[in-house]
Amino acid sequence: MKKLFVLMFLMIFLVGNVSAMEWDNAGRYNEETKTMTIKNGCDPFGLVCLGSDIADIQLLSELQVHFRYEGYKKVAEMKVTIYEDYNNAFKELELFNKKDRNKKFLRDYDFKVLETEEISVDDYGLVLIETLGNGTEIYESQIIGNHIEQKETWVKLTPADFKKNDVVIIGIFTNVFYGDDVEWIPNLFGVRVDEWAGWSATGGTITTDGDYTVHTFTASGWFNWTGESQVAEVLVVASGGSGGNLNAGGGGAGGYRYFSGHGISEANYYVTVGIVQGGVA
């Protein structure tokens, strides 16, 4: 009887430690709200969960974020609602190059939390400082008071420790380069969230017109195309003549070229837009 009791005690002790290692955490994804609910006490396949909810993580940014320029960017934003104390919740971020058969690659990134602080802002107004002999009043802009405003700042998340009932906004920041077409998969609360999301970097303003996706360039930049080869239509419009002085109108278009059936394949294309001449004084 004594040996049996010791064996049962060891088994319970080991299970408690494995649970702390997150082996039984699993996620339930709501595609409509883009929310991942992290649950505890789940079977190895995540089909049955007998434990409690740990957190809800809602993706606030788009599933695919497009950038026109390179630089250090916020590539994703999410709202995290915590239901129990949790340490080291945001463990890693995997990055995959979609243009290279989803090959995994490394790039520095930061998890940041959105914080709000109150700042005092001066209020200015015109104050009468002098009245001249002829009755002319001289006013000067001076501080007449102040008010409180909320200032938002992104602060690096170190470590990712949360308390029960916390509701925080988390951003993912990294360097974005022209030609990027990246899928990112985070490990949050011990769960690999592969339902999300990615970013790409291409120049131009992207709009839609019926069945067409339109990339408009008013300044030089990169056009990044991924996926299967397609046939595109290209319209190039030259700048018009400058406007005259006084009430004269602006000049018309300087000309245009239209190309139908222009084949494009997966590549980065640099689009050059010339300098527009200024108006006549």
| Residue 244: pLDDT over 90 | no
- Residue 188: the pLDDT is 93
DSSP symbol at 100: G
pTM: 0.64
pLDDT in tens, 43-98: 877 778 888 899 999 999 999 898 878 899 999 999 999 999 999 999 899 999 98
pLDDT in tens, 188-240: 999 999 888 887 777 667 777 776 778 788 777 667 665 567 788 888 887 66
Most confident of 1-15, 149-163, 252-266: 149-163
Q: Say whether 17 sits in a helix, a strand or coil.
A: helix
pLDDT band (50, 70, 90) for residue 19: very low
pLDDT band (50, 70, 90) for residue 23: confident
CB 156 within 8 A of CB 112: yes
pLDDT, average across residues 175-197: 90
**42 against 206, higher pLDDT:** 42
pLDDT, average across residues 171-196: 91
Distance CA 252, CA 83 (A): 62
9: Cβ–Cβ under 8 A, 6 or more apart, which residues? none
| Residue 11: pLDDT over 50 | no
| Residue 17: pLDDT over 50 | no
- Residue 38: the pLDDT is 94
Average confidence score pLDDT of the chain = 81
| Residue 39: pLDDT over 50 | yes
pLDDT, average across residues 247-276: 70
Domain ranges of the chain: 20-115+152-199, 202-281
pLDDT, average across residues 121-149: 93
Q: Cβ atoms within 10 A of the Cβ of 126, count?
A: 11
The token pair at 125 is: 């107004």
CA 160-164-167 angle, 5° bins: 70
